[in-house]
């Protein structure tokens, strides 16, 4: 059974259907991906290949599929995981030289176990910003994979789930997984023209996932379609699959959040997003536009406090290494950890209190809208060279990369980044209140069918 020529363009669900119809063998598919990964000439997004495991999982999937007993619609589909997720028998390195000699994980992370239970095949682990602390995707101690869309010069892939974005963007897996603490699923999704889901805090287990900032850490998929995002969300949340339903477009209200999310917009990003808004309006969606006080005020507090409590929690998590082994850390990660070290308990409490109060107020103020919308990232990806050569340039672009995405983490929203129908990597983000993930996915499917 041959691998289809267009395999890299297919969604995980489409691949699952080919496997189910026995038009493709999961063992052949796994071998195809490994051949592609090993022949990849640019900096490789994979840090660990789990070939032996993947082939055993493929053999088991083949047997189930031949017996017409698939575990899920994605049984036999190969996926990649950011190297923060525990794989039994492997060290979770987290993009850090300091963790390379740690003990191997004794069991899979909860979500990896759930993926296996659904028949997904684990190809391996992908590169990440050290400790997942960074929005650009660079890692001075390992590798920085290159952006898959803008190829004029080597450009950043977006972080911190950089390898997961590049592996899927360049067709080296059918779907991938990352973590999102301030934008780390959505930034690489936007910059590689993928769909990135930031799940509600607490909806998906983080047991067995290397922590960065536990108040904000979430797990989510990077995919080619909203359907894939929905299936993978259900698998990782250990919930039943749900069917999409049509929404009444003429009774759909979308709030375009003006002000802060557009203040530093590149003109190309602005035009691509405005074109999407016009398209939605033309299709019959009721578009409302205004600044949102809670977002504006929360941003002011974050700006006064090193960008938020994430860096303080990150420092407390990795304090020993920052204080005693700083020479081994990536320069830009260390700089942000040291910002966290400077934060007082008083300023951290100010942030937590503001997040709690403003999130509740925001839920109330956006209740009359089906979703809020704004650009995922305000700028296009800079070159790897310019951000690696200068801390000042790195800090400038890192702040811009995370400026919009962190709104959802800070104010406890679920969010999804959808690619704009533009040649360049621009994402538009839809957000809803906490725990409306299923509703958001259904809404995003309807919206994406209009804009793509």
Confidence at residue 378, expressed as pLDDT on a 0 to 100 scale: 98
Task: Say whether pLDDT at 320 is over 90.
Answer: yes
Half-sphere exposure of residue 246: CA atoms within 13 angstroms, side-chain side: 4
The Cα-based distances of 191 to 37, 41, 380, 422 in angstroms read 21, 20, 7, 12
Confidence at residue 110, expressed as pLDDT on a 0 to 100 scale: 98
Q: What is the DSSP string of 373-425?
A: EEES-SSPPPBHHHHHH-HHHHHHHHHHHHHTHHHHHHTTEEEEEEE-SSSS-
Tokens 């800079």 sit on residue: 382
Distance from C-alpha of 313 to C-alpha of 333, rounded to nearest angstrom: 13
Confidence at residue 281, expressed as pLDDT on a 0 to 100 scale: 98
Over residues 99-126, mean pLDDT: 98
Strand order in the sheet with 175-180: 46-49, 121-126, 78-82, 175-180, 218-223, 195-198, 413-419, 427-433, 371-375, 253-258, 286-291
Residues belonging to the chain: 452
Confidence at residue 163, expressed as pLDDT on a 0 to 100 scale: 98
Over residues 261-274, mean pLDDT: 98
**What CATH fold (topology level) applies to the domain 1-292+366-452?**
Amidase signature (AS) enzymes (3.90.1300)
Reported confidence tier of residue 418, pLDDT bands at 50, 70, 90:
very high
Over residues 319-333, mean pLDDT: 97
CB 264 within 8 A of CB 379: yes
Confidence at residue 195, expressed as pLDDT on a 0 to 100 scale: 98
Q: Give the chain's count of helices (H) and strands (E).
A: 17, 11
Phi, psi of 291 (to 5 degrees): -70, 150
With residue 53 as reference, give the H or E element that holds it: helix 51-66
Q: Tens of pLDDT along 63-72?
A: 999 999 999 9
Reported confidence tier of residue 1, pLDDT bands at 50, 70, 90:
confident
Task: Say whether pLDDT at 187 is over 80.
Answer: yes
Q: Tens of pLDDT along 370-391?
A: 999 999 999 999 999 999 999 9
Over residues 404-416, mean pLDDT: 98
Task: Say whether pLDDT at 186 is over 80.
Answer: yes
Over residues 336-359, mean pLDDT: 98
Q: Tens of pLDDT along 429-447?
A: 999 999 999 999 999 999 9
Reported confidence tier of residue 422, pLDDT bands at 50, 70, 90:
confident
Distance from C-alpha of 350 to C-alpha of 174, rounded to nearest angstrom: 42
Q: Tens of pLDDT along 117-173?
A: 999 999 999 999 999 999 999 999 999 999 999 999 999 999 999 999 999 999 999
| Residues assigned a catalytic role | 82, 160, 184
Task: Say whether pLDDT at 82 is over 80.
Answer: yes
Task: Say whether pLDDT at 356 is over 90.
Answer: yes
Over residues 20-24, mean pLDDT: 97
Radius of gyration of the chain measured on its C-alpha atoms = 21
DSSP state at residue 107? S
Q: CA torsion sign, 189 to 194 to 200 to 202? A: negative
Whole-prediction pTM value?
0.98
Interhelix angle 437-451/267-283, nearest 10 degrees:
90
């Amino acid at each position: 059974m041959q691998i289809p020529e267009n395999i890299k363009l297919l969604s995980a669900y489409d691949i699952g259907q080919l496997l189910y119809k026995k038009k493709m063998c999961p063992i052949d598919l796994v071998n195809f991906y490994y051949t592609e990964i090993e022949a990849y000439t640019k900096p490789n997004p994979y840090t660990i290949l789990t070939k032996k495991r993947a082939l055993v999982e493929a053999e088991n999937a083949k047997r189930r599929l031949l017996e017409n007993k698939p575990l899920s619609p994605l049984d036999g589909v190969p996926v990649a995981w950011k190297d923060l997720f525990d794989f039994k028998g492997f060290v979770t390195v987290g993009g850090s030289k300091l963790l390379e000699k740690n003990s191997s994980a004794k069991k899979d992370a909860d979500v990896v176990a759930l993926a296996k239970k659904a028949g997904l095949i684990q190809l391996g682990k992908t590169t990440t910003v050290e400790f997942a602390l960074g929005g650009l995707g660079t890692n001075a101690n390992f590798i920085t994979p290159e952006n898959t869309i803008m190829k004029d010069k080597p450009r950043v892939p977006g972080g911190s789930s950089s390898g997961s974005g590049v592996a899927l963007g360049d067709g080296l897996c059918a779907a991938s997984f990352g973590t999102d603490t301030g934008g780390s699923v959505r930034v690489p999704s936007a910059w590689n023209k993928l769909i990135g889901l930031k799940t509600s805090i607490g909806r998906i287990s983080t047991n067995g996932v290397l922590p960065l900032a536990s108040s904000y850490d979430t797990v989510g998929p990077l995919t080619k379609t909203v359907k894939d995002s929905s299936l993978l969300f259900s698998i990782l949340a250990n919930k039943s699959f749900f069917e999409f339903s049509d929404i009444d477009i003429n009774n759909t209200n979308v709030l375009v959040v003006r002000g802060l999310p557009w203040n530093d917009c590149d003109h190309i990003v602005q035009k691509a997003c405005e074109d999407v808004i016009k398209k939605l309006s033309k299709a019959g969606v009721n578009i409302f536009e205004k600044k949102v006080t809670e977002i504006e005020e929360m941003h002011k507090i974050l700006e006064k406090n090193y960008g938020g409590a994430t860096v303080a929690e990150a420092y407390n998590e990795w304090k020993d290494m920052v204080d005693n082994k700083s020479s081994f850390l990536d320069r830009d990660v260390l700089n942000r950890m040291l910002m966290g070290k400077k934060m007082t308990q008083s300023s951290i409490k100010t942030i937590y209190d503001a997040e709690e109060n403003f999130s509740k107020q925001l839920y109330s103020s956006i209740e009359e809208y089906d979703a809020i919308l704004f650009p995922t990232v305000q700028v296009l990806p800079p070159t790897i060279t310019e951000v690696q050569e200068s801390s000042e340039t790195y800090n400038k672009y890192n702040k811009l990369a995370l400026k919009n995405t962190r709104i959802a983490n800070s104010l406890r929203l679920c969010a999804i980044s959808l690619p704009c129908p533009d040649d360049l990597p621009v994402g538009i983000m839809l957000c809803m209140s906490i725990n409306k993930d299923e509703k958001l996915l259904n809404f995003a499917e309807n919206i994406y069918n209009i804009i793509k």
